[in-house]
Amino acid sequence: MTKETKQTFIKGAMILLAAGIINRLLGFVPRIALPRIIGAEGVGIYQLSYPFLTVMLTIITGGIPLAVAKWIAEADSEGDSARVKYIFRTAMGLVAVLGVLMTAVMLLGAKWITSHILPDARVYQTFLVMTPMLMIIGISSVYRGYFQGKQNMIPTAVSQIVETVLRIIASLSFAYLFLPYGLEWAAAGAMLGAVVGEIGGFAVLIWKYYRDKYLNKKDSSITPDQDSSKNFPVLRKLLTLSIPVTGSRMIGSFSYLLESILTARSLAAAGIATGIATAQYGALQGMIVPLLLLPTALTYSLAVSLVPSLSEAAARGDHSLIHKRLHQSMRLALVSGAPFVVVMSLFAEPICRLLYAHAEIAPMLQLIAPVGIFIYLQAPLQAALQALNKPGTALINTLIGAIVKLFLIVKLASDPDFGIYGALIAINVNIVLVTVLHGISVLRFIGFHMKFADFIKVGTAMVIMGAAAQFTMNQNPLPAEWINLIVASAASTLVYLMLMVVMKIIDRHDLERIPLFGGWFK
């Protein structure tokens, strides 16, 4: 890997942000089209298979990509190319072994798992189709960790875009072709499209890795590290970081799996039929949650770039840089996420009607939208804890949130007065609780906290933006509702950005970093 491909923290984050925005926007094509092809119930069958896949992927990858990024960043900063190579090979071997084992478990246990663990047996076909993704995603994650450790975010960004485009085309095509055979086969077709997308993204990563390796081979004067004492602890070091991170993510994955199971069973206890419960869960996880997570294109890019950047700063003992990077990440997450919260809260009904043709699910979006700010702040905080060798703390915080969430789901979703909204309340409480616990932990370990004035300024701007959005929408200046929605959202967002500049939350230097348009502000 040549030095020219290494990016700064902000540049790397912005590359991933650009790819993330493209992916999120493209990703809404199947989110909008799939419910129209297979309905909310078909989406529910499709979504019910994902929690188990997430658990298996967590076992295979867990914290390994993060550990690879962290240790490669440190080795690369010391110019130890031999150790970089050894870390990569060790991680790849570990993931390959785990991938084979978990794939066998899923294939051999598919019938029993779908009939006894998952709440709807119709998920069997989808479950079988998705098993190849274990090996593909597992190996891809090591390549992504390698490139992130090198602070080269371009391969990850390109692979994500390729994966998304292929998944859209294949998922919608296969879902449509398989629909005559029943909803379960249509859902399996959509999942087959996801497999095709992952294969495409994987191919990009392999091509980029071996292309760079070939180009750099001529200039390489690296000799194998003769000090075996430096190589021997690599597996142990990888496991030391990855096991707590895997534990933390495993709690999240198991929580997600149990959430799907307990929500369906609690809704049944409330007297709701299985088909209706599956449709409600499909609406929540397949339509509402993706809308809420739209701004996480930025928070994900910040979190990915933050780990190697903070690891490098921590290795040098540069505490001022650690605080600077954290403040940049948190401020960007807060400022960029706030407008989405305003728009989703105010215009939930037209958004759900225009995107999904299901206006009845709008109250779900209105209920969950306000906690979006906590989701957007959570990713940088968790990345900071992991980069600063505090993954165990992140694990405990996640465990506490998961326990509270699952308890509330059982308590509230089984009550006919709450139903699916009981599960939504439980998810909201979990999001706020984990974010607050992460914030307290970061404050305790390194003394970092956001400036209270920033929250006041952003909150004030959100109120003014909301008033501007509602005023514009009420005027109905254009005949089509979707055009009015876009105009109201765009005009109010412009008001919000102007307020951010006036209040000095963002400045010209922040605007210069925006991909494609940054040059205008220089």
Predicted local confidence at residue 150, as pLDDT: 78
Rounded Cα distance, 300 and 21, in Å = 11
First vs last Cα of the chain: how many Å apart?
30
Q: What percent of the chain has pLDDT over 90?
A: 33
Q: Which residues of 47-83 are buried (b: 16+ CB within 10 A; e: fewer)?
A: bbbbbbbbbbbbbbbbbbbbbbbbbbbbbbbeebbbb
What is the helix (H) or strand (E) element at residue 401, kind and residue range?
helix 391-408
pTM score of the predicted model: 0.72
Average pLDDT on 42-55 reads: 87
**Residue 126: is its pLDDT beyond 80?**
yes
Same domain, 63 and 94: yes
Predicted local confidence at residue 338, as pLDDT: 92
Same domain, 399 and 478: no
Longest dimension (CA), the chain: 74
Rounded Cα distance, 478 and 497, in Å = 24
Rounded Cα distance, 453 and 459, in Å = 10
Predicted local confidence at residue 444, as pLDDT: 87
| Closest C-alpha to 502, from 458, 469, 470 | 458
Q: 9 pLDDT band (50/70/90 cuts)? A: low
Contact of 389 with 241, CB cutoff 8 Å: yes
Q: 3-state DSSP: the chain helix, strand, coil percent, rounded to 5?
A: 85, 0, 15
7 within a domain of the structure (yes/no):
no
**Residue 145: is its pLDDT beyond 80?**
yes
Predicted local confidence at residue 2, as pLDDT: 44
Residue pointed to by tokens 């940054």: 518
**Residue 8: is its pLDDT beyond 70?**
no
Same domain, 433 and 473: no
Burial of 265 per CB tally in 10 Å (0-12, 13-18, 19+):
middle
392 within a domain of the structure (yes/no):
yes
Please give the distance of CA 426 from its chain centroid, rounded to a whole number: 20
| Closest C-alpha to 155, from 296, 5, 303, 299 | 5
Same domain, 492 and 511: yes
DSSP state letter for 478 = S
Predicted local confidence at residue 431, as pLDDT: 94
Average pLDDT, rounded, for the chain: 82
Same domain, 495 and 365: no
Q: Between helices 420-446 and 391-408, what is the axis angle to 10°? A: 160
338 within a domain of the structure (yes/no):
yes
The tokens describing 232, both together, are 């021997």
Predicted local confidence at residue 515, as pLDDT: 46
Q: Is 39 left (phi over 0), alpha (psi -120 to 50) or beta?
A: left
Contact of 151 with 10, CB cutoff 8 Å: no
182 within a domain of the structure (yes/no):
no
DSSP state letter for 479 = S
Predicted local confidence at residue 433, as pLDDT: 96
Predicted local confidence at residue 332, as pLDDT: 80
Rounded Cα distance, 386 and 445, in Å = 12
The tokens describing 294, both together, are 């739209």
**Residue 28: is its pLDDT beyond 90?**
no
DSSP conformation letters of 433-472: HHHHHHHHHHHHHH-----HHHHHHHHHHHHHHHHHHHHH
- pLDDT tens across 397-453, in order? 988 999 999 999 999 999 998 989 999 999 999 999 999 999 999 888 888 777 788
Higher pLDDT, 518 or 477: 477
Window from 181-185, 188-192, 460-464, 512-516 with minimum mean pLDDT = 512-516
143 within a domain of the structure (yes/no):
yes
End position of a domain, from candidates 450, 471, 505: 450
Window from 362-366, 495-499, 510-514 with minimum mean pLDDT = 510-514
Same domain, 409 and 459: no
Same domain, 82 and 93: yes
- pLDDT tens across 260-284, in order? 888 888 988 888 887 888 888 888 8
Same domain, 434 and 469: no
Predicted local confidence at residue 508, as pLDDT: 60
Same domain, 352 and 461: no
Classified as helix, coil or strand, 418 is coil
Predicted local confidence at residue 331, as pLDDT: 82
- pLDDT tens across 164-190, in order? 999 999 999 999 999 999 999 999 999
195 within a domain of the structure (yes/no):
no
- pLDDT tens across 357-389, in order? 888 889 999 999 999 999 988 888 887 887 777
Q: What percent of the chain has pLDDT over 70?
A: 85
Domain count, the chain: 2
Same domain, 407 and 285: yes
Predicted local confidence at residue 334, as pLDDT: 86
Give the structural domain span for 429.
49-120+129-151+229-257+272-450
Rounded Cα distance, 341 and 335, in Å = 11
Average pLDDT on 470-492 reads: 87
| Closest C-alpha to 513, from 33, 16, 4 | 16
Same domain, 417 and 285: yes
Q: 306 pLDDT band (50/70/90 cuts)? A: low
